[in-house]
Structure 1
């Protein structure tokens, strides 16, 4: 028998937050903020779950609102199904092309065929992905993934909208607007920025080359901290704070930088050249001569010595009031503080199915495997 949702009444309507007990609210927040994130053998509540529980119990700090703020639950379910079907088609081994004239409906139809016919059957015709991206991201079943996805408000592995933590002093509409830019790309740190495949390349070649380079890298731990990076908030490696001389942290940052360099250099031959319009768009942001050289050489200006690993927490905060920025930064520090250092043991492949669509998590390639 299906377990009753503790945050809904018997008639299926969502209980107002005031009617929910902290236990019920945390139970519902679990898929987005820590429920089911046991500490392994101990079986205890995760640090993230404890943080949410404290916020709900005390009425201060951070908590996850009830799903009454999600407009249509069926829309979230449909997004999840489409994401799973697209990933199923990818896993089935289709020759995914970089065609841009195929609708998302055709993509899902082809993915559905692969899903229904089983992993040994290729879908009818090519399944296009407009662009691919190589990201550093936690596994979707981990506390780090759930914490980051909840902060942004979308799970790129399921395609679902998820409930964001409440931030004292910041309205939900403001919070959603300020996290809109990173939400489209999913929870990640960029290793190789989004690119279109070259005409003579396909996703099978991309996956093979990515798997090969991952075999040559080792896993490592990466402590992270919240920082204002230019005009946006992000999680960055903790040793960049200038507050520690920990040689292990410095080594781990070098590992992440080397991993990013490998992804850029080893996969460059599979990427299509930037169009004149794309070059002009990049240059419009105001690049240094060195960044412009890197843009022409590698298709992206913030690589090699210009690279800085970060998990974006907001879009631009250029015109945002200082008190709002301070509230966001304080909330982010609370939200992520209880989590252990991030274990980097794989590289993730994401894709943008059609131009302007949200990016989806497709697969992970383990380091050293």
Structure 2
């Protein structure tokens, strides 16, 4: 069993539903969905090129996947996540847009979110004690030769290269694309997601994701609202 701590909008949020249809799977229920019919892309094009983010589900990663360390438990993790979320206030992300990351596409804020950066760093730090350290063979499979010095240090210290100063909040929409497909997908993605990105995205919860066995699709285990309970009741 692996866990990760992420952000995703609530299950019935229009962005969640739109992304679930694009990816072909709802991350809360695990239900398979039909891909949308879009000009310039076939259903096969979409299905093939969304396989990786479909398994991962629609989310922005804060604390990448980890196995529980000896002496910790899921119940303890849930209690600590509830306490942690209560100490951090909700906030609004800058407007999201479709962005290209290498040969992949994702949603990301038009300007970096300092609030999200600080939240992600706190998540990594606070939940480090729950993480089983990576064995040497896993570090080797991560191909450390292609990492910068800072990324390699992150992997050794925190179990993932892209945390702390290397963190960039994004929500993946495709896997790696062939160069000839980049233009088609960018046009289709901007057209499809544009109506879903008009309203601000409120970060009101943290989501605990689970991977029940290696290679299994990730699903939302539980949502943990940000902010004190008393403040939420009177808001």
What TM-score does the superposition give when structure 1 sets the normalisation length? Answer: 0.59
The answer to whether residue 149 in structure 2 is matched with residue 278 in structure 1 is no
Q: Which residue of 1 aligns with 2:188?
A: 331
The partner residue of 2:129 within 241, 244, 269 is: 269
Matched, 1:237 2:109: yes
Cα offset for 1:206? 0.9
Shift of 1:217: 1.3
2:160 pairs with 1:300: yes
1:182 to 33, 53, 61: 53
More divergent stretch after superposition (151-160 vs 284-293)? 284-293
Unaligned runs of 5+ in 2: 229-235
Contact 2:36 2:43 in 1 (8 A): no
Instruction: Find the aligned partners of 1:320 and 1:173 in 2 and give their Cα distance.
Output: 17
Decide which structure has greater strand share: 2
> Aligned-pair RMSD on alpha carbons?
1.3
What does residue 42 of structure 2 align with?
171
215, 218, 224: which one pairs with 2:96? 224
In 1, Cα distance between equivalents of 2:28 and 2:171? 17
> Partner of 2:69 in structure 1?
198
Residue of structure 1 aligned with 2:28, choices 152, 157, 165: 157
Which 4+ residue blocks in structure 1 deviate beyond 6 angstroms? none
Change (3 A) 1:287 1:155: same
Contact 1:294 1:302 in 2 (8 A): yes
Larger radius of gyration, structure 1 or 2?
Answer: 1
Match of 1:344 in 2: 203
SS of the equivalent of 2:142 reads helix
Unaligned 5+ segments in structure 1 are: 1-129, 241-252
- Report the secondary structure of 1:350's partner residue: strand
Instruction: Render the CA deviation track for 1:316-348: whole Å, top value 9, x for unaligned.
Output: 12x341xx2222112221222123121110000
Contact 1:167 1:328 in 2 (8 A): no
